[in-house]
Structure 1
């Protein structure tokens, strides 16, 4: 039976030490003053449990925009894609209450005489301080570094932003402490030594590649840190890639009621016992929440089952749904509905539902049986998993120019072995870089390692799709302009009747003019409402063709600092290109 959700303790402690986002200097109003708390291991544990609310919930992982970026189209677009972000008056992610709670703990944990407990929970606190600042650096770049609770008149309240390089150095100090003192016993719900290594692997890959592609310098050593953290986790032998039936095992990872302990380093836990449930079934299968659909760009990225490139096949651009889904990487059929799909708990095959997917490529990742519809999912959601660490390792080494075939064999190969896909061959990839991927990533490092870098990006996209990584990946690779490209769906030659899964039964009718007399079991889409890129001459489905999408290379990689913060602290400087005064 599933364990009760660990993070519930945050509610009680959040009330005991409540705080205001706007004021770093205020001590919390509390019945228990900090000087009288933090006296034993249990009190340290209870307080550090409040930090877990920083972790993403299921909605943030599988649904929230812009996390899915160009992997997913919907019937709405976030401001990031439309180029309509403005400098907010307040809010905008410039919130410091979570950091203040952490610093309160670290200022008082010495009151506990149990040194082993103090080091353990100090490590947890410093992990979460890194997690907090990682988000801030990704969002704003330079930010002020605070590692103490400030008094009301403290001059540091008016300090300018510290450089992202200074802040990142402080983050490295914290994460190394968390690694050194973290619990050795692995847990899918608690922060451990292994969670800290996974975070270091992730954050150093982000920062190293961001510095490289944005021309900030000092990136090589940061990528080396990512490699070292990944290797330490890999060589510990604590985690492995979960294996099983190649045609089901990948999907099983994300539909399991309990996070798989072999591969999931940290997961958000859900259970009916509390109850604490999420809404993956509802958001993916409902017509009311954006009708999310995978984009054709992702579909084109999946390799053929024999390891060759789908986009090398003549005429791939105009293949029908049935044709393009045959003999592909098995992860495709475990991520979206393909011909022959049977939902968990059903013996009937189902084709994509165009009423709930704007592209026709309908997700099945995270989808449970109909019994869990209406917002009742209890499958745990991935936050850190071992597959990502392997991908981080391979990419960091490739960017450094040190990736060799044995490095691929201990990383990418394990992911492909899971689904019986051929291994990535470094020499073959570099001898013939994929033209399709070159068009997808025009800023990729050009050189002897270009081909394998592109293939690792392919692998990352396919393996981690819909897990909330894609937007940050585009930001660090300086490929934000992809968000201004059209989002495409399935190809259709025009109006007509379509047997999507080639079982001899018409599934979809695309019509012009008046709607035909409906036939049970058929879907109907009016041409013009279902927009094809060449109109009645057919083409790919075009998502939201009437909405202009923009990307500003000069400013859109970072978010603006809210105007009220600039007024309160005249030492803060606004990010380039954003309003400084609200004028």
Structure 2
């Protein structure tokens, strides 16, 4: 903590070079390679210049972080992930205070924010504009501490720039979660009250602040409700109530669900459009532009290091609103069958049979990944350069606001059918799925969801479970799932062995839906009996996969669900006593012995 906290601030370089006059005073000037409040923080233009640097800090708007939120690789929604993952290491017992990455215990960004907030006394200009940029700084301080809260729970809370002589503050123990959470909320309330509502959607506005406030209050309210070990359950209600009122203010702000009647296509365009600036569903987005050479890497979501899990695929409803898991033979449907009559969002999130990235030959699935490739965020555009994308990416969208409003009301026990019609059913209507009926849902809770979330026990059990389903479906691959499991105290879902598609038998399979076999799964290259009867021309073009490669196996040996040896060799296990937080890097505890590891660590 200490060494990183004192990293010099070099966000804006003031190159002031006077070529004529005043040369005799040159050596008397303050160095201009870093911000000096003696010369800076004098005008609202200074505040704007300085606060522009916040958008590229680690956090909600930074490019790398936006990229990380275009998938659910750290959750049960993925069948396999080949990249490195702290979460995967944790649930396999491979993480400790000495091995956890130190990068998250980094206080440099907080120092940058507090540096501005501590130097506002000499700013001249319109005070509403001063308050606007102050609100943006406090928004980012809230964002910083929200991430720290989610990772560690209790953390030291600072509102001032610390110097080397501030030993009492530098070496203090963590502040309690309640203080940190109240401080986050206070910063966001200030932002909501002072940041201007007008302006571009690629910059922080009042609407972005309201979206963050509602997101945070839902998180903290549900975390306190379900984590009874904190002893904060009595204080959950005010957070949930604020989640309702903040989301309701957005709902009254002129936003709407993007819906032209094209079902899945409308949903897909939210994540693949070149310009989201005028889309009424968008509250805040990251702008990418080919002309300005601002690109992202959304191309990599498709078939690179991960695929969607069977449990996520099973979550999508039938188009008539009934659970897929209640339909006859649901658990033995093949890849080409599971997409029939489903929620249209499924086929624009998970690659369906016949999907093509080249507008030519359909792409094939890879059993080694599980067989359900992600296509959400993949921009299908023949003019797009390979591995480079320029589609805008949403950060806050109206759909999330509706989900927050419905969930918070359901947790409070105040939700009505009218509330569902103004929230969940707007999303289902866009997708072309039958609406959620509150009475029917509560009378017949889906047993699969009941098994997934045993903590839910309210009178609105059925409807709350369906809201969780809707949240997972609507926000799939947007980076929410892991933190949702934490706040619901549903970490046990992370220890379940993941599965891929169902394979009826060894041999050749049609995975493009044209009736011709495309791939084959065999026990080994030598055991080709399952291919007997396959025409030679078809056999010559088969892409072959072998069980003895040790990259995957079938749950019933020669049939069943695709599964992965890693889950057998190094079983997943979610330790309820400690895994809702990460350990503080051991080096930081050595530097400050007053720091206490989160419970269990």
Confirm or deny a common fold (TM above 0.5). Answer: yes
Q: Deviations over 1:339-376 (max 9, x none)?
A: 34344x61x46244317x70111111111236535421
Q: What residue number does 2:373 align with? A: 362
Q: What residue number does 1:222 align with? A: 239
Q: Does 1:454 align with 2:485?
A: no
1:338 and 1:351 in contact (8 A); partners too: no
Structure 2 CA distance for partners of 1:488 and 1:147, relative to 1, 3 Å: same
For residues 422 and 508 of structure 1, the distance between their equivalents in structure 2, rounded to whole angstroms, comes to 35
1:180 aligned to which of 159, 179, 193: 193
Structure 2 CA distance for partners of 1:32 and 1:504, relative to 1, 3 Å: closer
Pairing 1:258-273 to 2, within 5 Å after superposition:
258-259=275-276, 261-273=279-291
Q: What residue number does 2:561 align with? A: 540
Pairs aligned (count): 549
1:553 aligned to which of 576, 585, 601: 576
- For residue 63 of structure 1, report the CA deviation from its aligned partner: 4.3
Moved more, 81-90 or 228-237: 81-90
- For residue 85 of structure 1, report the CA deviation from its aligned partner: 1.5
Q: Does 1:524 align with 2:524?
A: no
Moved more, 188-197 or 558-567: 558-567
Q: What residue number does 1:81 align with? A: 91
- For residue 143 of structure 1, report the CA deviation from its aligned partner: 0.9
Q: What residue number does 1:326 align with? A: 340
For residues 385 and 450 of structure 2, the distance between their equivalents in structure 1, rounded to whole angstroms, comes to 40
Q: For 1:111, what is the secondary structure of its paired residue?
A: coil
For residues 404 and 523 of structure 2, the distance between their equivalents in structure 1, rounded to whole angstroms, comes to 49
For residues 542 and 370 of structure 1, the distance between their equivalents in structure 2, rounded to whole angstroms, comes to 35
Q: Does 1:165 align with 2:165?
A: no
Q: What residue number does 1:391 align with? A: 403
Q: Does 1:62 align with 2:75?
A: no
For residues 64 and 434 of structure 1, the distance between their equivalents in structure 2, rounded to whole angstroms, comes to 23
- For residue 49 of structure 1, report the CA deviation from its aligned partner: 0.7
- For residue 32 of structure 1, report the CA deviation from its aligned partner: 4.0
1:250 aligned to which of 267, 270, 274: 267
Q: Does 1:569 align with 2:599?
A: no
Q: Deviations over 1:468-491 (max 9, x none)?
A: 000100010111121111110000
Q: Does 1:487 align with 2:498?
A: yes
Structure 2 CA distance for partners of 1:88 and 1:242, relative to 1, 3 Å: farther
Q: What residue number does 1:406 align with? A: 418
Q: For 1:379, what is the secondary structure of its paired residue?
A: coil
2:445 aligned to which of 419, 425, 433: 433
Query: What are structure 1's unaligned runs of at least 5 residues?
Result: 1-11, 18-27, 579-583
For residues 536 and 195 of structure 1, the distance between their equivalents in structure 2, rounded to whole angstroms, comes to 51
- For residue 92 of structure 1, report the CA deviation from its aligned partner: 4.5
Q: What residue number does 1:139 align with? A: 151
Q: What residue number does 2:17 align with? A: none
Q: What residue number does 2:11 align with? A: 14
Q: Does 1:276 align with 2:294?
A: yes
For residues 303 and 432 of structure 2, the distance between their equivalents in structure 1, rounded to whole angstroms, comes to 29
Structure 2 CA distance for partners of 1:152 and 1:384, relative to 1, 3 Å: same
Query: What are structure 2's unaligned runs of at least 5 residues?
Result: 1-8, 15-30, 529-535
Q: What residue number does 2:249 align with? A: 232
2:71 and 2:476 in contact (8 A); partners too: no
Moved more, 208-217 or 362-371: 362-371
Structure 2 CA distance for partners of 1:72 and 1:386, relative to 1, 3 Å: farther
Structure 2 CA distance for partners of 1:80 and 1:386, relative to 1, 3 Å: farther
1:70 and 1:482 in contact (8 A); partners too: no
For residues 540 and 62 of structure 2, the distance between their equivalents in structure 1, rounded to whole angstroms, comes to 41
TM-score normalised per structure 1: 0.89
2:485 aligned to which of 459, 474, 482: 474
Q: What residue number does 2:142 align with? A: 130
1:415 aligned to which of 427, 446, 460: 427
For residues 522 and 407 of structure 1, the distance between their equivalents in structure 2, rounded to whole angstroms, comes to 51
- For residue 198 of structure 1, report the CA deviation from its aligned partner: 0.3
For residues 525 and 335 of structure 2, the distance between their equivalents in structure 1, rounded to whole angstroms, comes to 26
Q: CA RMSD in A?
A: 2.4
Q: For 1:500, what is the secondary structure of its paired residue?
A: coil
For residues 124 and 562 of structure 1, the distance between their equivalents in structure 2, rounded to whole angstroms, comes to 30
2:221 aligned to which of 196, 208, 211: 208
1:127 and 1:175 in contact (8 A); partners too: yes
- For residue 80 of structure 1, report the CA deviation from its aligned partner: 3.1
Q: What residue number does 2:203 align with? A: 190
Q: Does 1:465 align with 2:483?
A: no
Q: What residue number does 2:514 align with? A: 503
2:72 and 2:480 in contact (8 A); partners too: no
1:241 and 1:386 in contact (8 A); partners too: no
Q: Does 1:112 align with 2:134?
A: no
Q: Deviations over 1:114-160 (max 9, x none)?
A: 11221110010011011111001001001111111123222211222
For residues 248 and 187 of structure 2, the distance between their equivalents in structure 1, rounded to whole angstroms, comes to 19
Q: What residue number does 1:301 align with? A: 315
1:483 and 1:551 in contact (8 A); partners too: yes
For residues 434 and 317 of structure 2, the distance between their equivalents in structure 1, rounded to whole angstroms, comes to 10
Q: What residue number does 2:327 align with? A: 313
TM-score normalised per structure 2: 0.86
